[in-house]
Amino acid sequence: MTSALQPDLVTIGKIERPFGVKGAVKVRSLTDVPGRFEQLGTVSLVNAEGRAVDRTVTDVRSAGGTYHIVQFDGITTPEEASTLRGVFIQVPRREPSLRQGDALYECDLIGMTVVDETGHELGLIETIWELPGHQVFVVKQEAREVLIPAARDFVTAVDLAQKRMTVRTIEGLVETSHAL
């Protein structure tokens, strides 16, 4: 998903479906920055093929939890809004605030190589699951899938430049082919 997206932009939401009769859309938030949607002006809408178009946001309202109702300039019917289903909303990347400290963007983590502390490659981060209370990295290598809690107890280092994450494993968390 992220390879087709703009590297100088960050994905903050995914359009799920049309909402109402005036061309609004229901958007699932992919950001943990409070108030991010309320501050939107012009955004890039990027489809699965990587084609982007800029649109101006004319209205945003919360739809509970991680959803927002967003209205774009020039989209006035449910039929026009339905063409945006599955499209990602991107905004210019900005540095995390001091409050966020070591916060990372999901789009920077997807596709990152994960290794254990001995340097053994566990695979690539395919997606990030949002579970109640915490996140989990889904790491895949061929047919094998490993779930790594997104917690300081497990993630020991992240190198964005090298796209490499080092994790501490515990016995039973990861099966290794070189085990006796």
Per-residue pLDDT of 11-29, as tens digits, reads: 889 999 999 999 999 999 8
Pair (87, 111) in one structural domain:
no
User: β-strand 52-62 against 67-72: which pairing, if any?
Assistant: antiparallel
Pair (71, 119) in one structural domain:
no
CATH of the domain at 54: 2.40.30.60
Pair (61, 130) in one structural domain:
no
Pair (75, 13) in one structural domain:
yes
Q: Could you say which DSSP state residue 174 is in?
A: S
Indicate if the pLDDT at residue 180 is higher than 70. Answer: no
147 is in which domain, residue-wise?
106-167
- Count the residues in the chain: 180
Asked whether residue 141 is domain-assigned, the answer is yes
pLDDT at 2: 37
Indicate if the pLDDT at residue 76 is higher than 80. Answer: yes
Pair (61, 33) in one structural domain:
yes
Is the distance from CB of 11 to CB of 5 less than 8 angstroms? Answer: yes
Indicate if the pLDDT at residue 162 is higher than 90. Answer: no
Q: Residues 136-164, buried b or exposed e (16+ Cβ, 10 A)?
A: bbbbeeeeeebebebeeebbeebeeeeee
Residues 85-114: pLDDT tens digits? 999 999 887 644 333 445 677 777 888 999
Pair (78, 18) in one structural domain:
yes
pLDDT at 110: 83
pLDDT at 6: 54
Confidence bin at 3 (pLDDT 50/70/90): very low
Is the distance from CB of 136 to CB of 151 less than 8 angstroms? Answer: no
Pair (71, 16) in one structural domain:
yes
**46, 63, 92 — which closes off a domain?**
92
Asked whether residue 121 is domain-assigned, the answer is yes
Asked whether residue 77 is domain-assigned, the answer is yes
Domain count along the chain: 2
